[in-house]
Amino acid sequence: MRFGIVVFPGSNCDYDTLYVLKDVLKQESFFLWHKDHDLKRADCIILPGGFSYGDYLRSGAIARFSPLMQEIKEFALSGGIVVGICNGFQVLLELGLLPGAMLRNKNLKFLCQYVHVRIENTETPFTNKGKLGQVLTIPIAHFDGNYYTDQNNLKKIKQNHQITLRYCNPDGSLSEKANVNGSMEQIAGLTNEKRNVLGMMPHPERASESLLGSCDGQIIFKSIINYLK
Amino acid sequence: MIDKETLKEHGITQSEHKRIIDLIQREPNLTELGIFSLMWSEHCSYKSSKIHLKKFPTSGKNVIQGPGENAGIIDIGNGLAAVFKIESHNHPSFIEPYQGAATGVGGILRDIFTMGARPIATLDSLRFGPLSVPKNKSVMEGVVSGIAGYGNSIGVPTVGGETYFDECYSLNPLVNVFCLGIVKKDKIFYARAEGKGNPVLYVGSKTGRDGIHGATMASAEFGEDLEEKRPNVQVGDPFKEKLLLEACLEVMEKDLVLGIQDMGAAGLTCSTTEMAANSGSGIEINLDLIPQREKGMTPYEIMLSESQERMLLVAKKDKVKQVQAVFAKWDLDAVIIGQVTDTHHLKVESKGQTVVNLPVSAIVNLCPVYKREAKSYSPTKFKMDLEEIPLPNDYESAFLQIIKSPDLADKEWVFRQYDHMVQINTAVLPGADASVLRIKNTHKALAVTLDGNSLYTYIDPRSGGKIAVAEACRNLACVGAKPVGVTNCLNFGNPEKPEIMWQFKEAVEGIAQACQFFNIPVTGGNVSFYNDTEGTSIYPTPVLGVVGIIEDLDYITSPEFRGPGDTIILLGKNKEEIGASEYLKQIHSQKSGSPPTIDLDKEKRVQAFCLEAIFKGMLKSAHDISQGGLAQCLAECCILGNNPIGCQIDLNDKIRTDALLFGETQSRILISLEGKDLDAFKDLAKKRRVPFSIIGKTGGKNICLKHHHKTIIDIPVQKVYSSWKNCIPDYFKTT
């Protein structure tokens, strides 16, 4: 499997994602420079976390104009597998590959902590190795992760089972408290209608080694590998 | 002619002025005076501290770089080296908390990547006034979000540190930032300007008028004109620094540069003169070529600007194009502004005129050194009579009051705002004795801790210094690390006051003695004097940053109890020492008595034994006993884990119950182990002559503590947990 990890100026989880895919999961993985026009025959494109262009405007708002985004958009529209993690999710929203937008976290502070997320749909390239309702322990680290969309979109998202991950309690139940950033419908991860594009705020690459406290993030990567096999 | 008023504005004394004239054989012009005022400021020259800092041990077989460079470097094996340093950004952080703290982070990061190292972690030691005062809350909020704003964006995890509160910091908060980086041993770079005719390049942000006189500002007391100093604080751009970091590491990896220096305090002045002085060369630059953010900047302003995110580098002549290509890739300019010369002078041109022509050694090496008067305070100043301290009527409420004092309460409110996991090396999350970072592609980890107790140091500076080192090393032992190097940030008041100078001299002596004893080299640091506002000095606050190595990742140990039924053991001995304790401060509103005694030999044995037991696989947890004493330590062991767990403790020491619970006697560690390892543990402890006592077992839903078989405390662990957890957030609740 060939994983291409996009490097924007200001990306800071690019090396982490590369390390997990290459050194931990032994996949063929490489960086894609944002100024190029070459996806290097990647089977899966990952937009990593970070602060692309400093995120001085809206998060992800400038990165969507990077030259490589043109190829990524075509790749996604033709069914290619694309994952946006954290800032990558924000870029996908700005790009219009996923519906909705991110607001500031409800407590108006940056949040870095472990959260619990529940798998809401296993019939996706990203969660097929998990079980429905399975609770994953994965860290978040963001300022703008409070998902929002209009009622129309929300209806469609629900109808098409696009909600992939929801913030929850350790036992899988939902609550206001567990929804740390205030996301609409507790949305932590979301696919497009065709389910080939995923955006998620939690960082699976930070939860892929037992040394660091959790291996639950591997489920996301292993599902993709399984799907592309 | 330079008049008295101008000298005063520049913080230059009459005798220093005379010395300048003697050295350069003429009157300096205003720009040149500005250059001297920065480089001869206390902040840059260490003129009051130098003679004392010589006492630190600075060599050792693993030391690659001791004090004097941007950061210290220690060999950690596997062809790698650890690069680390701590710096203060106290003054700017009070004037403009967000930017002051943010640029503090930016500055220390540059010190690390200037040497070729990728920064892998930062830690902060923060001191504020009490949170009951709204102004202090807003300073804290600003500082924490400034650190977060910079560190999170650039992608260097903020993995730990300390946050304490005291009235003495109300008008003078402390923001000390530590950074650790890793470099390949054969890819270390230094601040050198070598080879006549080699081009000098300016990279990074454009120069503006921000931060002019920053270093001079940090070298004087604050008065009521504080608000007017706001323009002296720089503004940070973490995105620009991220680009600079990647571009600099790339040109260094490709071996395109000869020397490199960041423009931190004293900006262009410091980088040009230090690079030349370090190499015995000279530098000439043309200010017309400097990228400028504002129009009409004078040579004086350009030379003194402290605009952030700028670096100066000297490249090989034939590599300039390649250097510029790398910077262009990262959307940065790399502009040739001058060249290396052999004149031993800094020559600065502007609009066809020579505006500065000074010997670099005069600027960098010939600043006067002062042996300032030191005078101890009266020995009875902090006298405390134990007999006059009443025993608490209700130990449970005293216990809870200490747990939920801002000093000892949970700091998650702070570190949750920091990305402490990026770079995926953080093996022990913030809140433990030390932060632990694995080194990728090895089976080792580095541990780091910051430590310093200002009340101990105020009352007894020498003991305070010693204890800071001892405790930091003990913190490392608790996670399984052996200390390898020390950096320190010495925050003190006005050194022109004899009592302050005495505090400094004594604290340095204490630190030096302890470092010598533990055989750990001091590889650099920072002195921050003039922490006085409106005539009041802070408590002397030395902050020690100690780096240690964990030789085997599998043995990383943490403070929390791991499950029910384990045996709880106290290493070391309880003594009747309550002087200078958190207990006296919180329960009896007293800051008196002597700090606990410290016997370095015993300390070393306890630490060595703890490490040995960890690597024999005996220990399930280890936690240092410090502020708040045994009771606080026990509580933390119970509540730091994901699932709080109770314990039953039975103590029989023949000392006052309050001293037993809350005394801060040194050289103690609380550990837990499984019953099956107990015999082997006892044998080893006897062999190593380390005193210990079995004091109880883990389990249950309460923290239950008896003294002489009488129940003193019996509280649900959940109640302790919420008191500890809610303290800081409650102060910041918006109603």
pLDDT exceeds 80 at position B213:
no
Predicted confidence band of residue B225 (pLDDT cuts 50, 70, 90): low
Q: Is there a contact between B440 and A109 if contact means CB atoms under 8 Å apart?
A: no
> Which of B422, B425, B726 is the mutation pick for testing A, counting most A CBs within 10 A?
B422
B537 sits in the region (left: phi over 0; alpha: psi -120 to 50; else beta) called beta
Tell me which residue in B417, B421, B438 faces A139 most closely, judged by beta carbons: B421
pLDDT tens digit sequence for B415-456: 999 999 999 999 999 999 999 999 999 999 999 999 999 999
Distance CA B159, CA B594 (A): 33
On chain B, the residues whose CB falls within 8 A of the CB of A10 are 153, 239, 242-243
Q: Give the pLDDT mean for B488-503.
A: 96
In chain A, % of residues over pLDDT 70: 100
Would you state the pLDDT for residue B232? Answer: 66
Nearest residue to B58 via CA among B70, B43, B74: B74
pLDDT tens digit sequence for B543-571: 999 999 999 999 999 999 999 999 999 99
Calculate the alpha carbon distances from B305 to B34, B90, B271 in Å: 11, 19, 12
**ipTM above threshold 0.90:** yes
pLDDT tens digit sequence for B104-135: 999 999 999 999 999 999 999 999 999 999 99
- Report whether B7 contacts B34 (CB < 8 A): no
* Residue A12: domain span: 2-228
CA angle A148, A151, A156 (to 5 degrees): 95
**Which residues on neighbouring strands pair with residue B714, listed in sequence order?**
B704
The pTM is what?
Answer: 0.96
* Pairing outcome for strands B702-707 and B647-651: parallel
Q: Is there a contact between A12 and B416 if contact means CB atoms under 8 Å apart?
A: no
Length of chain B: 735
Q: How far apart are the first and last CA of chain B?
A: 60
Would you state the pLDDT for residue A43? Answer: 98
How many structural domains are present in chain A? 1
Nearest residue to B624 via CA among B694, B678, B559, B555: B559
Would you state the pLDDT for residue B2? Answer: 84
pLDDT exceeds 70 at position B218:
no
* Pairing outcome for strands B345-350 and B282-286: parallel
3-state secondary structure of A30: strand
Tell me which residue in B145, B329, B424 faces A205 most closely, judged by beta carbons: B424
pLDDT exceeds 60 at position B735:
no
Across chain B, mean pLDDT equals 95
Q: Give the pLDDT mean for B329-339.
A: 95
pLDDT exceeds 70 at position A70:
yes
Residue B701 sits at φ, ψ, to 5 deg, of: -105, -5
**Which residues on neighbouring strands pair with residue B525, listed in sequence order?**
B488
pLDDT tens digit sequence for B42-96: 989 999 999 999 999 999 999 999 998 889 999 999 999 999 999 999 999 999 9
Positions of A annotated as catalytic residues are 86, 203, 205
Predicted confidence band of residue B494 (pLDDT cuts 50, 70, 90): very high
Q: Is there a contact between B416 and A51 if contact means CB atoms under 8 Å apart?
A: no
Which runs of consecutive H residues, i.e. helices, occur in A83-199?
87-95, 151-159
Distance CA B160, CA B158 (A): 6
pLDDT exceeds 90 at position B228:
no
pLDDT tens digit sequence for A27-51: 999 999 999 999 999 999 999 999 9
The whole-angstrom distance between B714's CA and the closest CA on chain A is: 29
Q: Give the pLDDT mean for A142-171.
A: 97
Q: In the 8-state DSSP scheme, what is residue A47?
A: E
Question: Which amino acid would we find at residue B708?
Answer: H
On chain A, the residues whose CB falls within 8 A of the CB of B242 are 9-10, 12, 51, 54
Q: Give the pLDDT mean for B594-620.
A: 97
Would you state the pLDDT for residue B226? Answer: 61
| CATH number, domain with residue A164 | 3.40.50.880
Residue A46 is inside which H or E element, if any? strand A44-47
Predicted confidence band of residue B230 (pLDDT cuts 50, 70, 90): low
Would you state the pLDDT for residue B234? Answer: 79
Q: In the 8-state DSSP scheme, what is residue A213?
A: T
Q: Give the pLDDT mean for B216-225.
A: 66
pLDDT tens digit sequence for B662-683: 999 999 999 999 999 999 999 9
Would you state the pLDDT for residue B68? Answer: 86
